[in-house]
Structure 1
Amino acid sequence: MANTAKFDRREVLEKATRLFWQKGFHATSTRDLQQAVDMRPGSIYAAFGSKSGLFREVLHFYADDMALRLQQCMDSERSVLAGLRAFFRQTLLEGGDNAPSQLCLLAKSLSELEQGEEELLRETRALLAATEATFRHHLESAVAAGELSPLVKPAVLARQLQVQLIGLRSYLRATGNSEATGELVNNLFSGMSPSAD
């Protein structure tokens, strides 16, 4: 009879995500992981291969959760820009990602990972690029729907949204000023409207 995993993989990933997000990849020890996910080191390594293997799954788990929440915001709003604004507000101001750190896990990881960890660096950059591509897709839809000027370059604007989201999270962490952050989010999206010209 084949051995089956005696743990809830999603639950383990949720707990490991919170731990890595709070402490960072390097500062998280095997003992920290063992206590957080309630698994023996041997079981962790059997399930994920290594600390790096678990971290790689955590990065994907985090990115998938962000993508799901973005899609939920898009589905719940009547326009593309309203959906994007709702996602920004949820992520930044409403605790939508239940963050143990106000910084984006992917951006935080990029600043921490070292040159000897090229595979994790590539993985993190690819996940950030996928988020940017999703923004671009939605912005292309906004242009097609007449929400944005046909002169808008969705690829450039998607890049700007990515930079703004990372930057606003850093600003909120640095200042703790949620009111100012909310104003910046509103200004960002009101400035995209054709009527704002």
Structure 2
Amino acid sequence: MANTAKFDRRQVLERATRLFWQKGFHATSTRDLQQAIDMRPGSIYAAFGSKSGLFREVLHFYTEEMSERLQQCLAEEGAILDGLRTFLRQILLQDGDNAPSELCLLAKSLSELDEGEAELLSETRALLAATEENFRCHLQSAIAAGELSAQVDPGLLARQLQVEMIGLRSYLRATGDRDAVRELADNLFAPLQPGSQ
């Protein structure tokens, strides 16, 4: 009979995500991983191939979790822009006390990885691009629904949203000014809505 995994993969990925997000890829040792996910090196290798393999899966897990949270915010708010604002508030402000780092895991990884980890670097860039495309699709829907001016370029705005998220997280880390971050997040779309001057 074939061997079956004797661990909860989602729980392992949640724990590994917190560890990598807190310490970074390079600073996370095999011993750190063993303790965090409660697996021996041989089991980690069998399940994920290597530390890099586990990290790659963590990057995808993180991205999927963010996408699911965005979908939940959109479903709860009804209006697309309201859902995007709620998502921004959650990511920027509500997660602050519980997240292992104020920075986005993908952005943090991009700043750490070098050309020696070309595959992981490429994977991280691709996931950021996929996140931006996800924003673009929702913003296109907001234009179609009349929530945004028809003159808005959804691709450009999606890129701006991505930059704002990364930048506001860094700003919050640097200043701790939650009120300023809340105001900036809430007003991101205001100038682009129909009827705005």
Q: What is the TM-score when the length of structure 1 is the normalising length?
A: 0.97
Tell me the CA shift for residue 186 of structure 1: 1.4
TM-superposition CA deviations, 1:130-179 (whole Å, max 9, x none): 11001100111111111111111000000000000010011111111111
- Structure 2, unpaired ranges of 5+: none
The equivalent of 2:37 in structure 1 is 37
C-alpha separation in 2, matches of 1:75 and 1:96: 23
Tell me the CA shift for residue 187 of structure 1: 1.9
The equivalent of 2:95 in structure 1 is 95
Give the counterpart letter for 1:168 in structure 2.
L
Change (3 A) 1:162 1:125: same
Tell me the CA shift for residue 97 of structure 1: 9.8
The equivalent of 2:110 in structure 1 is 110
In 1, are the aligned partners of 2:152 and 2:192 still within 8 Å (CA)? no
What CA RMSD, in Å, does the superposition of the two structures yield over aligned residues? 1.2
- Structure 1, unpaired ranges of 5+: none
C-alpha separation in 1, matches of 2:179 and 2:96: 17
Q: What is the TM-score when the length of structure 2 is the normalising length?
A: 0.97
Give matches, 1:67-106, under 5 Å.
Answer: 67-95=67-95, 98-106=98-106
Amino-acid identity (%)? 74
C-alpha separation in 2, matches of 1:57 and 1:73: 24
In 1, are the aligned partners of 2:172 and 2:181 still within 8 Å (CA)? yes
The equivalent of 1:192 in structure 2 is 192
The equivalent of 2:136 in structure 1 is 136
The equivalent of 2:64 in structure 1 is 64
SS of equivalent residue, structure 2 residue 189? helix
Tell me the CA shift for residue 19 of structure 1: 0.2
SS of equivalent residue, structure 1 residue 28? coil
